[in-house]
Structure 1
């Protein structure tokens, strides 16, 4: 489908890619991952031809239809209603529709056979292209992405950037491309829309390449992971969770190879040092020196997972009740957010505030922070000191300051060593701390603003979308920081992995009230799936839509076949468990010094490891084939 060979791309003297290779096949569903600045978005632009590679080539079929969603589409502007903008995807159908309308006008005065034949041909082609249903399809996708029927009549230029991006996504999905290239598609999306997109992409028949920092989203969609790192593209045959396990496995093997090679190098160096001064052995020593110089060195494993190793201190703890909301009401023209709502935040609460966009999450945070007018009472508790983090605070960073200067001015009580330690945890190491704020990317500015928020002497944090613009590595750092934070916080985020690892209570706004679930996000999801919910707004239904056929029970022969396949699947699962244990045992052996320091033992153990790994791979392939057969029979 798309073949990338020996790709190099230079920015100045820096090689963003250095002879990288990647082949995208039909049906691939790939997560393109890597730290910010490793060239993921650049690679997508190279694929679609916006950037030219410095060397190497990209080949693809001439008629390949590519749907490309990127953040640059935010600048697209139109006075047309968003339904009309989304329907721009149907270029040929729209043209035919206009031609049919013209011919219908002509036929009012001209009944000639030529005009009737043209009209019949146009209508036949329009029908073949499903032209009579294009408005329904556009309506359906926009509804899934969170747009009400009334919203779809509003002009595009009346919506904020995040909502415009959803319209662009709808337009791309309606084009029915062979491959989707999606650069951070869940940015600015609420949880219901993310879940809808997951369901839609699960049924998409073409290939998909996704750049995303949402681990749960990637795990739901992808079947391959490609890591962009150090100018290369490394493939892993599984979703993001599989990638983490497989990368650690490869790292363990690499560590063993590195230790073994280092031991061999030291041994050779001792021999050379011992014999180079002896005339009878000098030739042998020279030969060994040359062999050592030619040896292809194994790199040690880099630590890609920095840990937060500083304590967040505040001079005084808060009282038991941090915030008390009573009879709180808030509304905008035509929208009621809260009506006589009540809630309490207690010391030690780690609250995730979730829900669809437009339900009032950010408004509620501003009410708690004291920056939004409302009716009712918001009482801040004894000794409560607050810090409010929101995306607009990125604009308050002093652009001419260096990163370290920005924190020094904000947190003068901290020493430079403490501040550099904090910045190190947020991936600003060495001379990075002297970079000017004005040269930083959006993600880097977010990290600086978050570091500032966490250096305050505050025992209560209010965080509005703190994970926006952060890569997976940075999200992990923020999770560690909040897990160590001993104060209280409330956070709005659409990143489910983040929510699941930091929150001990869930808040959601429903029927104009603040409702609470006392547990983790995963527990809330399970509870929410079972409860009877208020009736949502009606979603457009296709006129005269036929009811799905009732699924007939499987025939006895099919049931027997299913039983055999399930039995075989169970036996394969048992085999996989055994092979996995054997592989782990081999890995443990490879890491032992007595093995990697002995060439004979190392060769034997490595041979055994490769054999067990091959058996495991074969068993896993068998399991996948059996599972596919079972799913097909079950319908």
Structure 2
């Protein structure tokens, strides 16, 4: 379908890609991943011909139809309705429609056979191209992406950038291309729209290449992962979870090969050093030196998942009640957000505020932060100190400051060592801290703003889309940091992996009221799925939730608690037995490696090392699963 052969792409003197190879086959669903700056978006632009490779070739059939969604489309502007813009995808059908209209006008005065035949031919072609259903298809896709019937008749230029991007995605999907190239398609999407897109892409017959930092989204769609790293493209046959497991296994094997090779190199170097001064052995030493120079070196494995040890400082812990909201009313000219709404945030709550766009998530955060006017009461508790992180704060960064200077001016109580340690947690190491803010990418600026937020003397954090612009590694770092935060926070995000790993309570706005589910995001999803199957919410706006009914999720959660605890404890006991058995296997292999008959035989050593790496990987996964089960049990028991 598309063949990339020996691709080299230079930016100045730096090779973004160097002799990279990749063949995209029909029907493949591919996740293109890698850290920020490794050239993922650039590679898509090379494929569609926007950039020319420095060396190598990109081959594809001439009639291949490519649908390409990229962030540059945010700037597209039009005074036409979004329905009209989406229907521009049907180029031939629209052309036929206009020609038929002209012929129908002519036939009012000209009854000639020529006109009648032309009209008949055009109508037959229009029908063959399913022209009579194109508006219905456009309606259907726009509705799936979150546009109401009224919205579809509004001009495109009245929508924000994120909504415009959805219109452009709808237009691309309606073109039914042979291959979709999607660069961060879930940016600016709410959770319902992301789930709709997952369903659509799973049913798409063509090939798909997705650049995304949403690991749950990738897991649901892709069957291949291509990693862009160090100028090369490495292929893994599976979804993102499989990629993590397979990469860890390959890393263990590579680490073993590196250690063995280093030991061999040191042994050779000692022999050369010993004999090079002796005339009778000089030729042999010279020969060994040449062989050593020609040796293809195995690279050591980089640690791409650093463990964060983040020390938060806040001088005063908050009181029990952090925020109390009573009888809150908030409305805009065209929409009501809150009516007689109540909510309480208690010390230690880690709240995920979720829901569709336009339901008032960001408005509620601003009410809690005290930056939004409303009717009612929102009271902050005793000793509560607040930090509010929102995307617009990226604009308040001082462009002429270095990264370190930006934090020094914001957190003067922290020493330079502490600040550099914090920046190290957010992947700014060594001389990176002296980079000017103005040269940073959007993702890097977001990391700086987050680092600033976490250096404050605050025991309550309000986080509005903190994962926007962050790559997967940076999201993992933020998760680790928030797990170590002993205060309270409320966060809005569309990254389900992030939500599932940081939240112990879910808030959602329904019927203009604040509703609460006392559990993790995964548990909330399961509960919400049951509600929809029972017909409580599916497609129909639910009736006003009375105050007493807000406790229903909690009641259901408590009723299932004992059953869940029993089930989890049984799983934990079984897992402990499996871990003990696997530890015995690992020890036996270690003993086997230590035997002379093993380490003196390279082929056998390689086979044993591979078994050892696989056993260690499985043991690590089992231990991680044990920790997750133990943590679930602690949450339920607490």
Counterpart check, 1:303 vs 2:286 = no
Q: Does 1:154 align with 2:154?
A: yes
1:241 matched residue in structure 2? 241
Where 2:601 maps in the other structure, the secondary structure is helix
| SS of 1:261 mapped into structure 2 | helix
Give yes or no for contact 1:263–1:597 (8 Å, CA) kept in 2: no
Residue in structure 1 matched with residue 203 of structure 2 by the alignment: 203
Shift of 1:595: 6.8
Q: Is the 8 A contact 1:255 1:591 kept in 2?
A: no
Q: Name the SS for the 1:253 alignment partner.
A: helix
Distance of 2:339 and 2:162 partners within structure 1: 27
> What's the offset of the Cα at 1:232?
0.5
Q: What corresponds to 2:286 in structure 1?
A: 286
Judge conservation of contact 2:593–2:599 (CA < 8 Å) in 1.
no
The question of whether the paired residues in 2 share the 8 Å contact of 1:8 and 1:17 is answered with yes
Gaps of 5+ in 1: 539-577, 615-635
Root-mean-square deviation (Å): 2.2
Alignment correspondent of 2:518: 518
Count of aligned residue pairs for this structure pair: 572
Paired position in structure 1 for 2:373: 373
- Cα deviation for residue 606 of structure 1 reads 3.2
**CA distance in 2 between partners of 1:488 and 1:315 (Å):** 14
Report the equivalent of 1:29. 29
Q: Would the alpha carbon gap of residues 282 and 535 (structure 1) be closer, same or farther in structure 2, given more than 3 Å must change?
A: closer
Take 1:585 and 1:411, find their aligned partners in 2: how far apart are those partners? 50
Q: Secondary structure at the match of 1:358?
A: coil
Shift of 1:609: 7.9
Quick one: structure 1 residues 596 and 198, their matched pair in 2 at CA, closer, same or farther if it must change by over 3 Å? farther
Matched, 1:69 2:69: yes
Which 5+ residue runs of structure 2 have no aligned equivalent?
542-577, 615-638
- Tell me, in whole angstroms, the C-alpha distance in 1 between the residues paired with 2:58 and 2:596: 41
Deviation, 1:612, is: 13
Whole-Å separation in 1 of the counterparts to 2:590 and 2:605: 7
**Within-5 A mapping of 1:591-610:** 594=594, 600-607=600-607
Please give the secondary structure, in 1, of the residue aligned with 2:376. strand
Instruction: Please list, as runs of the form range in 1=range in 2, the aligned pairs for 1:95-174 lying within 5 A after superposition.
Output: 95-174=95-174
Q: Which moved more, 1:271-280 or 1:490-499?
A: 271-280
When the two structures are superposed, what TM-score results if normalisation uses the length of structure 1? 0.87
Kept after mapping to 2: 8 A contact 1:226/1:235: yes
Give 1:305 deviation, angstroms: 1.0
- The answer as to 2:497 corresponding to 1:494 is no
The secondary structure found in structure 1 opposite 2:227 is strand
Mark the CA change 1:108 to 1:56 in structure 2 (over 3 Å): closer, same or farther. Answer: same
CA distance in 1, matches of 2:504, 2:18: 45
Counterpart position of 1:261: 261
Report if the CA contact (8 A) 1:256-1:596 is conserved. no
1:621 match? none
> Are 2:429 and 1:429 aligned?
yes
Distance 1:508 1:588, change over 3 A: farther
Question: How far does residue 288 in structure 1 lie from its aligned partner after superposition?
Answer: 1.3
- 1:116 CA displacement: 0.9
What CA distance in whole angstroms lies between the structure 2 residues aligned with 1:259 and 1:355?
Answer: 50
With 486-495 and 101-110 compared, the bigger mean Cα shift is at 101-110
Match of 1:352 in 2: 352
1:188 CA displacement:
0.3
Q: In structure 2, what is the Cα distance between the partners aligned to 1:424 and 1:306? A: 10
* Structure-2 separation of matches of 1:587 and 1:96: 74
Q: Which residue of 2 aligns with 1:390?
A: 390
Corresponding position of 1:181: 181
The residue matched to 2:59 in structure 1 has which SS? strand
Which string of whole-angstrom CA distances, capped at 9 and with x for unpartnered residues, describes residues 65-108 of structure 1? 00000000000000001000000000000000000111111111
User: Which among 533, 537, 549 is matched to residue 534 of structure 1?
Assistant: 537
For 1:494, what is the secondary structure of its paired residue? coil
Q: How far 1:316 moved relative to its partner?
A: 0.5
Deviations 1:119-146 (A, max 9, x none): 1110110011000000000000000000
Question: What CA deviation, in whole Å up to 9, does each residue of 1:422-475 have, x standing for no partner?
Answer: 111101111110111011111110000000000000000000000000000110
Deviations along 1:2-58, whole A, 9 cap, x unmatched? 000111111111111111111100011100000000000000001001111111110
Q: Alpha carbons of 1:300 and 1:164: their partners in 2 closer, same or farther (altered >3 Å)?
A: same
Moved more, 331-340 or 448-457: 331-340
Deviation at 1:368, TM superposition (A): 0.2
Q: CA deviation at 1:289?
A: 1.5
Corresponding position of 1:465:
465
The residue number in structure 1 matching 2:324 is: 324
Alpha carbons of structure 1 residues 37 and 99: separation in structure 2 relative to 1, 3 Å: same
Judged with a 3 Å threshold, the aligned counterparts in structure 2 of structure 1 residues 596 and 424 are, in CA distance, closer, same or farther, namely farther
Instruction: Give 1:592 deviation, angstroms.
Output: 7.5
SS at match of 1:89: coil
CA distance in 2, matches of 1:336, 1:366: 16
Match of 1:402 in 2: 402
- Relative to 1, partners in 2 of residues 1:380 and 1:480: Cα closer, same or farther, differing over 3 Å? same
| Contact kept in structure 2, 1:423 and 1:451, CA below 8 Å | yes
Tell me how far apart the structure 1 counterparts of residues 452 and 597 of structure 2 sit (CA, whole Å): 48
Q: In the alignment, is residue 411 of structure 1 matched against residue 414 of structure 2?
A: no
Shift of residue 111 of structure 1? Answer: 1.3
How far apart are residue 334 of structure 1 and its match?
2.3
Q: 1 CA distance for matches of 2:595 and 2:454?
A: 46
Contact preservation (8 Å) 1:331, 1:337: yes
Q: Aligned partners of 1:440, 1:46: CA distance in 2, in Å?
A: 23
Secondary structure in 1 matching 2:466: coil
After TM superposition, give the deviation of residue 385 of structure 1 in Å. Answer: 0.2
CA–CA distance in 2 between the matches of 1:271 and 1:85?
74
- Structure 2 vs 1, CA of residues 496 and 114 (structure 1 numbering), >3 Å: closer, same or farther? same
Q: How do residues 54-65 of structure 1 correspond to structure 2 at under 5 angstroms?
A: 54-65=54-65
Change over 3 Å in CA distance of 1:586–1:280 after alignment to 2: farther
Q: Distance in 1 between matches of 2:530 and 2:362?
A: 27
Residues 256, 609 of structure 2: 8 Å contact kept: no
| Partners of 1:128 and 1:268 in 2: CA distance | 75
